[in-house]
C-alpha cells in the first residue's frame, strides 16, 4: 500500500456505519478501515450530532413512555408520537432509530439498563464513539456551528433535542465564507461540471444537479450559509476537507452515489472502490 492510500478521511455516513449499522454493513465498514490512519472533521461531527445524537434522544424519550424497545420503535412510525419523542418524527428517523435500538439491545438486556445506556450515549458516549480511532485534533476548516449546544434533560427525564437550525447570516465562529474563498477554483468546477460526462457509478444525478445549482449561487456571491452549507453542498465540503489532513488521505464514504461522482469531479480519490 503506497503512502497516499494509508490514510482515510471519514464522511458522516461512514462514521455512522462503522458503529451503528446492522450487519453485515458494520463489519464490512470496519474491515475497510482496519489498519488505516483515520481523520475526520468538526463539520462531520456537527452533521452526526444533528442526525445521530438527536435520533438517540428521540429513542430515549420514546422508551421512557414505552414498555420496551420494540414499542418505542413502533412509535416512530406514527406522527402522533412526535411530541413524546421531542421532535417531528419523519421517515428518515426510523432507520436510524432501528440501528440504535439494535446497538442498545446487543449491549443491554433489561429495560433499566437500556434507558441508562441511551442516557450515557446522550451525555458523552456518542462522542467517544465518534472519536474512536480518529486522529486528533479534528480537521476544522469551516468553524462549523451547526447543532451547537449540549443536550438538556427536563424534569420528566426526557431530553430536549439539539437545535439544528443554522440560518444566521454570520453565526459566531462560522468560517464557511472563508472556506469557499480558499476553494474558489473548486466551487467553480462544481458550478460548471458536466454531469452527463461523469463516469463514476452509482450516480445520483438529482443530487448532482443541486450541487451544481448551489455551487453556482455561491460562485455568484450568494449566501453559503443555512441549507446551502448543511445540505446542498455538504458532501462537497466533506470531499474538500479531506485535502486539509496532515497527510494525503482518500475520502471514505458508504454513500457511494453521492461521493464517487463528486470526488471524480474534484480529482479526489474515494473509497471503497469496486476494484
Q: Give me the pLDDT at residue 91, please.
A: 86
Read off the C-alpha cell for 159.
431530553
Q: Which of residues 86 and 274 earns the better pLDDT score? A: 86
Tell me which of 142-146, 207-211, 212-216 is least confident: 142-146
Written as one string, the DSSP assignment of 164-190 is: -----SS-TT--HHHHHHHTHHHHHHH
Q: Give me the pLDDT at residue 164, please.
A: 81
pLDDT-derived band at 22 (thresholds 50, 70, 90) equals confident
Residues 119-134 have a mean pLDDT of: 97
Spatial distance between the Cα atoms of 145 and 226, rounded to a whole number of angstroms: 11
Tell me whether the omega of the peptide bond preceding residue 116 falls within 30 degrees of 0, making it cis. Answer: no
Spatial distance between the Cα atoms of 116 and 269, rounded to a whole number of angstroms: 41
Q: Give me the pLDDT at residue 145, please.
A: 87
Q: How many domains does the chain have?
A: 1
The angle at the Cα of 130, spanning 33 to 153, to the nearest 5 degrees, equals 160
Q: Which domain holds residue 171?
A: 3-271
pLDDT-derived band at 2 (thresholds 50, 70, 90) equals very low
Q: Give me the pLDDT at residue 1, please.
A: 45
Strands (E), 78-225: 152-153, 159-160
117 contacts 98 by C-beta, under 8 angstroms:
no
Shortest CA distance to 162 belongs to which of 17, 61, 12, 21? 61
pLDDT-derived band at 155 (thresholds 50, 70, 90) equals confident
Spatial distance between the Cα atoms of 196 and 203, rounded to a whole number of angstroms: 10
Tell me which of 32-41, 78-87, 202-211 is least confident: 78-87
Give the CA radius of gyration of the chain.
19
Mean pLDDT rounded to a whole number for the chain: 92
Q: Give me the pLDDT at residue 211, please.
A: 98
Residues 71-76 have a mean pLDDT of: 94
Strands (E), the chain: 7-10, 37-39, 152-153, 159-160, 249-252, 270-271
User: pLDDT at residue 4 above 70?
Assistant: no
pLDDT-derived band at 103 (thresholds 50, 70, 90) equals very high
5 contacts 33 by C-beta, under 8 angstroms:
no
In tens, the pLDDT along 185-212 reads 999 999 999 999 999 999 999 999 999 9
Residues 85-103 have a mean pLDDT of: 91
Q: Cell 453521492 belongs to which residue?
A: 258
User: pLDDT at residue 102 above 60?
Assistant: yes
Q: Give me the pLDDT at residue 168, please.
A: 56
Spatial distance between the Cα atoms of 253 and 259, rounded to a whole number of angstroms: 7
Amino acid at each position: 500500500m503506497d503512502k497516499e492510500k494509508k490514510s482515510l478521511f471519514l464522511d458522516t455516513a461512514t462514521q455512522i456505519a462503522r458503529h451503528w449499522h446492522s450487519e453485515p454493513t458494520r463489519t464490512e465498514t470496519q474491515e475497510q478501515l482496519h489498519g488505516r490512519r483515520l481523520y475526520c472533521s468538526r463539520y462531520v461531527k456537527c452533521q452526526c450530532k444533528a442526525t445521530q445524537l438527536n435520533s438517540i434522544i428521540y429513542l430515549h424519550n420514546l422508551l421512557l413512555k414505552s414498555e420496551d424497545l420494540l414499542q418505542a420503535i413502533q412509535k416512530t412510525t406514527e406522527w402522533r408520537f412526535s411530541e413524546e419523542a421531542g421532535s417531528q418524527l419523519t421517515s428518515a428517523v426510523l432507520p436510524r432509530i432501528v440501528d440504535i435500538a439494535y446497538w442498545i439491545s446487543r449491549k443491554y438486556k433489561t429495560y433499566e439498563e437500556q434507558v441508562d445506556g441511551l442516557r450515557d450515549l446522550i451525555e458523552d458516549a456518542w462522542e467517544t464513539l465518534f472519536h474512536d480511532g480518529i486522529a486528533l485534533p479534528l480537521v476544522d476548516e469551516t468553524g462549523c456551528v451547526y447543532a451547537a449546544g449540549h443536550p438538556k434533560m427536563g424534569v420528566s427525564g426526557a431530553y430536549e433535542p439539539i437545535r439544528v437550525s443554522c440560518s444566521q447570516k454570520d453565526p459566531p465562529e462560522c468560517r464557511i465564507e472563508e472556506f469557499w474563498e480558499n476553494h474558489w477554483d473548486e466551487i467553480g468546477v462544481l458550478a460548471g461540471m458536466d454531469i452527463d460526462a461523469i463516469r463514476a457509478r452509482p450516480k445520483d444525478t438529482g443530487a448532482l444537479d443541486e450541487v451544481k445549482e448551489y455551487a453556482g449561487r455561491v460562485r455568484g456571491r450568494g449566501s453559503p450559509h443555512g441549507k446551502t452549507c448543511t445540505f446542498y453542498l455538504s458532501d462537497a465540503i466533506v470531499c474538500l476537507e479531506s485535502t486539509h489532513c496532515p497527510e494525503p488521505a482518500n475520502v471514505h464514504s458508504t454513500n457511494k452515489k453521492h461521493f464517487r461522482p463528486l470526488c471524480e469531479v474534484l480529482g479526489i480519490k474515494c473509497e471503497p472502490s469496486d476494484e
